[in-house]
């Protein structure tokens, strides 16, 4: 079931994301917009570590069915963008980050890079909320959106933002073909998203 939108929720962020996915716009939207400054003990993956394997269901994009990290890394590097899901509204900063990444889809394809967008949240209605985030737009190759029901991935990676109205710390991870983490940026606020150009500079 969908929650009724309010002034702070889905129409604005989702409509902007839909426009970006279909027309390549969104160049002026800042993925660094938002506010929270909650401080907490720092956890999460680190550069040089072997990335923990996981298997999540695809809801949109290049791949379908169950997607396992270890099935991808032997053939291509993998970029993971952990979004905030639906903590009461769709996050404009997440929409901006996804739009920025999608705008560079051609460059990711040229480098044979898999891009996984992870959408976390309570299992109930998670699929419908993820599709609502995309507003019917299709993710181009090599993008795949994965569902993280009940924070299985988020908890395993130490990225759970366990505060009221929060879900996961917005995070970008680059994993090499050897399965090791080459780059990670964990934002402890709604801001500080990694630009697509910074991700591409890792290759």
| CATH classification of the domain holding 179 | 3.40.30.10
Contact assessment for residue 57 and residue 66, using Cβ atoms and an 8 Å cutoff: yes
**Assigned domain for 146 exists:** yes
Looking at residue 42, what is its pLDDT?
Answer: 65
Provide the pairing of β-strand 114-121 with 143-149: parallel
**Assigned domain for 24 exists:** no
**Assigned domain for 27 exists:** no
Total count of domains within the chain? 1
Residues 6 or more apart whose CB falls under 8 angstroms from that of 4 comprise: none
**Assigned domain for 90 exists:** yes
Q: Which tops the pLDDT comparison, 3 or 196? A: 196
**Assigned domain for 125 exists:** yes
Q: Is residue 17 very low, low, confident or very high in pLDDT (cuts 50, 70, 90)?
A: low
**Assigned domain for 110 exists:** yes
- Average pLDDT over the chain reads 84
Question: Using CA of residue 138, residue 181, residue 119, residue 156, what is the dihedral sign?
Answer: positive
The structure's pTM equals 0.81
**Assigned domain for 30 exists:** no
Helices 10-23 and 126-134, packing angle to 10 deg: 60
d(CA 199, CA 133): 23
- Counted residue by residue, the chain has a size of 203
pLDDT tens across 26-72, in order? 333 333 333 333 344 567 999 999 999 999 999 999 999 999 999 99
Q: Is residue 4 very low, low, confident or very high in pLDDT (cuts 50, 70, 90)?
A: very low
**Assigned domain for 171 exists:** yes
Q: Which domain holds residue 111?
A: 45-200
């Amino acid at each position: 079931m969908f929650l009724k939108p309010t002034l702070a929720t889905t129409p604005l962020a989702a409509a902007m994301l839909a426009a970006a996915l279909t027309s390549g716009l969104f160049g002026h939207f800042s993925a660094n917009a938002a506010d929270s400054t909650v401080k907490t003990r720092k956890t999460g993956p680190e550069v040089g570590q072997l990335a923990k394997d996981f298997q999540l269901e695809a809801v949109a994009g290049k791949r379908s069915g169950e997607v396992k990290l270890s099935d991808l890394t032997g053939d291509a590097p993998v970029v993971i963008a952990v979004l905030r899901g639906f903590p009461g509204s769709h996050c404009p900063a997440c929409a901006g980050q996804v739009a920025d990444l999608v705008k560079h889809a051609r460059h990711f394809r040229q480098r044979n890079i898999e891009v996984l967008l992870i959408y976390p949240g309570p299992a109930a209605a998670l699929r419908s909320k993820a599709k609502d985030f995309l507003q019917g737009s299709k993710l181009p190759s090599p993008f795949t959106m994965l569902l993280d029901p009940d924070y299985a991935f988020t908890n395993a990676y130490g990225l759970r933002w366990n505060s009221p109205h929060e879900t996961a710390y917005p995070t970008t991870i680059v994993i090499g073909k050897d399965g090791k983490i080459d780059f990670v940026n964990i934002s402890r606020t709604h801001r500080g998203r990694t630009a697509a150009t910074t991700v591409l500079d890792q290759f």
